[in-house]
Structure 1
Amino acid sequence: AKEMNGYDLSTGKLLTSPGALKDDGTTSCGNWLWCGMYTEDGNMMARRDATDYSLIGLFPNWGKAWPLNRRIMYNRASVNLAGEPWDQARPVISLDGTFIGDVPDGSTKSINDGGGYPFVMKPEGRGYLFGPGRPDGPFPEHYEPWESPVSNPMSPQQNNPAIKSWETGERGTPDAGYEIVATTSRLVEHLHTGAITRRLPWLVELQPSMFVEMSPQLAEKMAISSGDEVVVESTRGTVRGIAVITTRLQPVQVDGTAVHYIVLPWNWGYKGLSTGDSANLLTPRIGDPNTGIPEFRSFLCKVRKA
């Protein structure tokens, strides 16, 4: 932890913040994001002082926040040009010669006194209403997923026209019987695909098999009981899992229609102490226009008892 935090090589002392790092060989640091986490005062992340003078939940001496123990990023947007809090009753920072309260993000002076604007990661120091350079910009807009049981209520454009698609088959539609919305999830007990964690007996004991969560209403409609093996089918594939009926899931009303949905973890595969189908066998091959991140979190499917 100390090596990750970094040292001043001329004094042998641990560094206190990323601002102390130099490019002349006089400092060392394993990861600048960790710099200031383990100082001469000890492990800052282990601090447990629950005192909160701010009265808004900052708890500045409990653990350590990145960066610089700042609890609310862009907090200088909470004050006006003179450095006075917009919310006088609950100030995040306020000016008393210099800013007090949370660690100020950016300049320690007010804008009227020559300090910079609060959005320090932008060249103008101001917040953006839209992000330049986006293929689907300049303003964000709502689009329905590639497969959706309803039409886009915001505009005639159903799907994002700039998406990256590697789909080669038919799209699932309610008219074709794909009426149930599916989403994928993670588990605390298994890491990603479970390739590592499904080899550990104690974690397999906690989460032994692939399952499919559904509402009591959907289970009744499909004549499915808890513990039944069920088949989930999309236009791209089929997976099997154990039905878990839970009141945490409830049908939602969309456009005057009750829409049912299920939740499938994607932590299974074909090797390990526990094997099973991956939920990602069902998901569409659609990429976000900016990053290419797949649209794994929403698609249409059929569900039946195996």
Structure 2
Amino acid sequence: MAYKKPSQKFSGKIREVTIGSDLKLGGESTLPFYSFDGDTGAKPAIGMEIWDILPESWPQSLKNIFGEYAHDPVKWAKFCMEKCNPDFICIKLEGANPEGNDKSPDECAAVVKRLADEIPLPLVIAGCDSDEKNAKVFTKVAEAVPDKNYVFLSAVEANYKEIGAAAGMAYGNIVSAESSVDLNLAKQLNILITQLGVKPERMVMNPGCSAVGYGFEYVVTTMDRIRLAALDQNDATLQMPIISPVSFETWKAKESAATENDMPEWGNQEDRGIAMEVATAAGVLATGSNAVILRHPRSVEVIRNFIGELTA
């Protein structure tokens, strides 16, 4: 009797969401990279993070790579496109931080509008550490780039009404719902945003991320539970693609931030940062993330090869 390889079939499916004009996320009806069990949907996407201001807090090795380009977000984005060929660009509006440059919503909107006009790749637009300021900034930015299918990262419980109404409803963009590494919180926020009037096909999720070694096992188990609920239990409230801002977390970890003068026994600082970023990205991709945001060109190369090997 011939051997018949068993396969696991699920009743649920992750929605397919289009970012920009043609970058698709999601669409899978099986677990990540389980092509032997079913349709794995769109290939996971890789984005590169840039800032609207000079990233003085970044390690010197990163600043050396981007050099003079980091003084202008448009030049920086073009450099990333030419050297690394990412699927999308993530512009982090760090300059809006009230405890930093405190740039106005209009200033932030002007930066994103320039990028939209000169960069052909889809944009993921991230805010600063102030939920209150982000609500004002995202409203103005969404108005400046209507009907672009750009992702606004992220709407949280404190500001989802403003961001959902502006980005997801009034101006034709995509809302990312961010929760704090908890299935029930992720589900609750998704429900609140859809009840507001945002259509599920105009949503993605950021259920929380951390660097490896910093509660990362809780991140991956939460993502596992979210994906199994979406696929096995056919829970429509959790069937949105997941985007993970890996670089936001890994480059602030002490293993990446500590200089070689501070911790000579840890070895090369740049190598440590890349290792943290790559390990974290691989982990979240293996547990359900449909897109990751990275900083270092070497990390982009390694993760692209990782995805390629598992989707070949």
Q: TM-score range by the shorter chain?
A: under 0.3
TM-score w.r.t. length of structure 2: 0.20
| The structure with more radius of gyration | 1
Whose strand fraction is larger, Structure 1's or Structure 2's? 1
Whose helix fraction is larger, Structure 1's or Structure 2's? 2
TM-score w.r.t. length of structure 1: 0.21
**Highest relative contact order (Cα 8 Å, sep 6+), 1 or 2?**
2
